[in-house]
């Protein structure tokens, strides 16, 4: 999957670099990109350490379990396997709460912890299982209460009323998440369908 993305990027950049006469810029972007990757990893390194540690403390102290129980009636249906086995379920709750509270930086470490634990119950470790796909998709279309980042950027750009977009953001956000849940629900239906077919064959 990543190989294809990387391959497409490289060929496209060469092609457009030649077409637009920006080949020297493309060449310069390679070492810059590599250096930036280290930079991003370093930033992530600190964040991962801090938030994974925080998550562990909260989980040991039973705070996450309380949040998890509140979400259970809803998330039980979206992540049935994680809920049943308990592996990764708390981390999923932490990820979604972090996104909701607008602490997006903390969401990545939580989600990576969740992925690791869910991987333990993945029958085909080379390909993502349905709940891993669901978590990834939900993270790309996350529900955010206060997009602080956006408000700051809008104010900096001289907006008369930076807050004017709040309600449209909420409406769009809720609809996007619902649409994501709707699409991922087909995955679960298909899985259930193939299960029943497989068990019928067994009989």
Partner 1 sequence: MPLILAGVGCILLFGKRDRFESFLVGARQGLETAVHLLPTLCALIVGISMLNASGAVEWLSKLLSPIFGLIGVPEEILPFLLTRPFSGSASTASFVELLENVGADSFAGLCASVIFATSDTMVYIISVYFSSVGIKHSRSAFPIATAVMLFCIFFSCFLCRLWFF
Between residue 61 and residue 80, which ones bind partner 1 under the rule CB under 8 A?
61, 63
Q: Does 194 bind partner 1 (CB under 8 A)?
A: no
CB of 5 to partner 1, least distance (A): 7
Q: Does 164 bind partner 1 (CB under 8 A)?
A: yes
Q: Which residue stretch of 10-18, 72-80, 195-203 sits at the interface with partner 1 (rule: CB under 8 A)?
A: 10-18
CB 188, CB 130: distance < 8 Å: yes
Which of residues 64, 68, 78, 135 is near partner 1 by CB under 8 A? Answer: 135
CB 71, CB 64: distance < 8 Å: no
Q: Does 165 bind partner 1 (CB under 8 A)?
A: yes
CB-based contacts of 118, cutoff 8 Å, min separation 6: 81, 82, 87, 88, 129, 131, 132, 135
CA-CA-CA-CA torsion sign (194, 197, 198, 199): positive
Q: Does 5 bind partner 1 (CB under 8 A)?
A: yes
CB of 201 to partner 1, least distance (A): 23
Please provide residue 32's backbone torsions phi and psi, each rounded to the nearest 5 degrees. -60, -45
């Amino acid at each position: 999957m990543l190989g294809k993305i990387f391959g497409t990027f490289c060929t496209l950049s060469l092609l457009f670099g030649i077409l637009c006469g920006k080949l020297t810029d493309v060449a310069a972007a390679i070492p810059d990109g590599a250096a930036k990757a280290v930079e991003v990893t370093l930033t992530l390194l600190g964040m991962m350490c801090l938030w994974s540690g925080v998550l562990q403390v909260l989980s040991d102290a039973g705070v996450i379990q309380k949040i998890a129980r509140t979400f259970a009636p809803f998330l039980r249906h979206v992540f049935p396997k994680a809920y049943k086995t308990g592996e990764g379920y708390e981390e999923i709750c932490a990820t979604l709460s972090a996104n909701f509270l607008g602490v997006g930086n903390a969401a990545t470490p939580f989600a990576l912890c969740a992925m690791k634990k869910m991987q333990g119950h993945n029958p085909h470790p080379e390909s993502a299982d349905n709940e891993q796909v669901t978590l990834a998709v939900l993270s790309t279309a996350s529900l955010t209460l206060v997009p602080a980042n956006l408000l700051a950027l809008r104010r900096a750009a001289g907006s008369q009323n930076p807050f004017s977009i709040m309600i449209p953001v909420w409406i769009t956000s809720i609809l996007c998440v619902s649409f994501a849940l709707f699409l991922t629900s087909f995955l679960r239906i298909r899985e259930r369908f193939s299960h029943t077919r497989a068990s019928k064959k067994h009989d």
